[in-house]
Structure 1
Amino acid sequence: MEHDLVLSGHGVRLVPLRAEHAAPLLTCTDDVVWRGMTSPTPRTAADMERVVATALAAPGRYPFAVLDAAGRVVGSTSFYDVDRTVGRLEVGHTWYAPAVWGTHVNPACKLLLMTHAFEEWRVARVAYRVDERNHRSLAAVTKLGAVPEGRLRGHRLRPDGTRGASMYFSVLADEWPAVRDRLRARLAGQAVPDDRTHLLLLGGRSGVGKSTVGAAVHDLLTARDVRHAVVEGDALDLAHPAPWEHGVAAANLADVWRRYRALGYRRLVVTSTVSVLEADVLAAAVGDRPHVTSVLLTASDSTAHARLARREHGASLAAHVARSDAAAVRLEAEAAADVHRVATDGRDPEDVAAEVLRLAGW
């Protein structure tokens, strides 16, 4: 789609992408730059000419060449999937020369693009989709203040033929003023608060007191008027037959946290038996490179058995004891060295919760 839209400001200029931009764009591009794209890395002039031609041929896409203050081509970006009738679009197909990574270029481009989208076109939603393995782009979108919406499985076809997941983020019209202010502050060199999720994982064997300590954490934070949410992780896939191999727990956590985060929550407590072994999976489900504190609650066999006996009976008790003992061995063997161990034997839940919160820095 050829267009005549030009966006300028904050040391960059976005001009309509044209065939003549192919040669300078090729000098900006290598395998690292192209990581996360769905097409092979362009290596020749003809390859990049095809990339530009594909961009221009795509309906609903407004491709740009990104110029620096000296007029040099330093990358490309696009509006795409534009539907002004419905009031939505996506920003993507973005890459920059490594020389401008970490500079003003990306926040300046995002400020220009979203200002036009929200304030000129009056859209209601701007979305971003990122390959789940593209950690640099995930970090950049998160830093914008975009809200994570979830993980679309098998959504992307990678250049090697494998399928991958897309992580979705968005900014809505009523969220735009805060995002705009963050971008302006960054471009002005002002400190911008880290808005990522703080994720506290409480793991441990059955009978260790995860739910009780989680409730005590909730009470302490509530007493201090600290905004937070607590999720009982073991209930996220409590079903028969248990759907562990389908990742239901992580998917459900992503859905739950997306709603909390949209309401302004940034602290999340998740209690589940093996949470400390699945920190990477749960962090990915949260979706914004969260600060993670993993705490393994421990208890002796006698303590765990006594606690289980107060709530289970007969064959159910025997089964829970067996699972608890097996989990204790596994957790101690597999929990990483950076997982905090907190003993619960002979301690009040409030005392354990206070220690956990100190470890989390909350």
Structure 2
Amino acid sequence: MQHDLTLEGHGVRLVPLAAAHADALARCVDDRVWAGMTSPTPRGVDDMVGVVEAALATPARYAFAVVVGGDVVGSTSFYDVDLRMGRLEVGHTFYAPRVWGTHVNPACKLLLMAHAFGTWGVARVAYRVEARNARSIAAVTRLGARPEGRLRGHRVAADGTRQDSLYFSVLADEWPDVRAGLEVRLAREVVDERTSVLLLGGRSGVGKTSVASAVHDLLVARDVAHAVVEGDALDLAHPAPWEHGVAEANLADVWRRYRALGHRRLVYTNTVSVLQAHALAAALGDRPHVTSVLLTASDATARERLGRREHGASYDAHVARSDAAAGRLAEQVGPDVHRIPTDGRTPAEVAAEVVALTGW
């Protein structure tokens, strides 16, 4: 279906999908992106041209390319549009992973629903999600759409198996509350594009790496875009180049590349990171929001954990450094740093508390 509808606002622009978008869209797609679709993953531009042509050939479908800052980052559609009955569905949506967890999806859905309810005057906007697609289910739920039920054996997946579909919807009388929630969310996510960094510090054996990994798992489950950097690896060299600021310079280079991909949240681990917040913030380059967390553990806990990975002289050296770091941190860490104990707690338990401090 050819159309000339363009929607714009909140940092995104929806333009009529065309074959000219196929090259950029092909670069957005991999198996993760295409999960839940009923067709095989497009492999290259020719396959994506076929996807675009199929979209344009489908009656009652308004297909869009999603454009952010001049770059095509995905596609979405109105489909099964029946204005006589006052209903339609929103779907056939996919985005490049670099914009997952950003303002892009809520902004697109706000534009689409505002047009559907405000301009076309529909009574119902529905969302259909493949039942195994946890990421899409979470995204639709966060929009404020209400679950309606499961259609068993409703569709045929790309591998030929029959899959269930879950239905969600927003009705016209629910739209004002849904719109208000999306506008609040977008005001938070679009207006402030500065980096938000979580600094995890603490003595050796406190569990920094394990907690950072658990934070990563938690944010992935919530579909929150982020990056994790182990600070110890940024200047791991001999002779140790601490006095040359190599770690900060390397961090600046690494983060510049993540920023170019759309990331705004960083988890950074290093024993003394919480003492170096100002230098690390300067390296990130955009007056970042900083949440500093000092993970703590008793001597006994730190020794027991170090004993799992170090032995002999290496164990003794690590214990000595851990004890010295614990003393330095206890003495020098300021009141603006959150202290979270890890004794007797799982990394997932600590990660939940840490993430709550960030507001992510």
TM-score interval for Structure 1 and Structure 2 normalised by the shorter chain: 0.5 to 0.7
Q: Deviations over 1:245-271 (max 9, x none)?
A: xxxxxxxxxxxxxxxxxxxxxxxxxxx
Q: CA deviation at 1:163?
A: 0.3
Give the structure 2 partner of residue 35 of structure 1.
Answer: 35
**Residue 280 of structure 1: aligned partner:** none
Residue of structure 1 equivalent to 2:280: none
**Alignment match, 1:124:** 123
Q: Which residue of 1 aligns with 2:62?
A: 62
Aligned residue number for residue 141 of structure 2: 142
Report 1:1-362 matches (<5 A): 1-68=1-68, 70-189=69-188
Cα deviations by residue, 1:298-357 (Å, 9 ceiling, x for unpaired) = xxxxxxxxxxxxxxxxxxxxxxxxxxxxxxxxxxxxxxxxxxxxxxxxxxxxxxxxxxxx
Query: Over residues 18-64 of structure 1, what are the superposed CA-to-partner deviations in whole Å (9 max), with x where a residue is unaligned?
Result: 00000000000000000000000000211100000000000000000
Distance 1:120 1:97 in 2: 29
User: How far, CA to CA, are the matches of 1:71 and 1:89 in structure 2?
Assistant: 28
Match of residue 229 from structure 2: none
> How far, CA to CA, are the matches of 1:142 and 1:116 in structure 2?
20
Could you say what secondary structure the match of 2:127 adopts?
strand
Give the superposition deviation at 1:116: 0.1
In structure 2, give the amino acid aligned to 1:146.
A
Q: Which amino acid is the alignment partner of residue 119 of structure 2?
A: E
Q: Which residue number corresponds to residue 329 of structure 1?
A: none
> Following the alignment from structure 2 to structure 1, what is the Cα–Cα distance between the partners of residues 22 and 156?
24
| Matched residue type, 2:38 | T
Q: Which amino acid aligns with 1:180?
A: R
Distance (Å, rounded) in 2 between the aligned partners of 1:96 and 1:167: 20
Q: Deviations over 1:54-107 (max 9, x none)?
A: 000000000000000x21000000000000000000000000000000000000
**Which residue is equivalent to 1:294?**
none
Within 1, Cα distance between the matches of 2:62 and 2:176?
24
Supply the distance in 2 between the matched residues of 1:22 and 1:172 (Cα, whole angstroms): 33
TM-score (norm 1): 0.52
Amino acid at match of 2:14: L
Distance 2:17 2:173 in 1: 30
Letter in 2 for 1:168: Y
CA RMSD of aligned residues (A): 0.7
- Output the CA distance in 1 between the equivalents of 2:149 and 2:142: 17
Q: 2:188 is paired with a residue of what secondary structure?
A: coil
* Superposed displacement of residue 144, structure 1: 0.8
Question: SS where residue 188 of structure 1 aligns?
Answer: helix
User: Taking every aligned residue pair, what percent have the same amino acid on both sides?
Assistant: 71
Deviation at 1:156, TM superposition (A): 1.2
Alignment partner of 1:183: what SS?
helix
Other structure's SS at 1:142 match: helix
SS of residue paired to 1:32: helix
Q: Helix, strand or coil: the match of 1:178?
A: helix
SS at match of 1:150: strand
Structure 2 stretches lacking a partner, 5+ long: 190-360
How many aligned residue pairs are there? Answer: 189
Distance 1:123 1:174 in 2: 11
**What runs of 5+ residues in structure 1 fail to find an aligned partner?**
191-362
Rounded Cα–Cα distance in structure 2 between residues aligned with 1:46 and 1:72: 20
CA distance in structure 2 between the aligned counterparts of 1:168 and 1:8, rounded to whole angstroms: 27
> For residues 7-26 of structure 1, what are the alpha-carbon distances to aligned partners after superposition, in whole Å with 9 as ceiling and x for unaligned?
00000000000000000000
In 2, the alpha carbon distance for the partners of 1:176 and 1:132 equals: 24
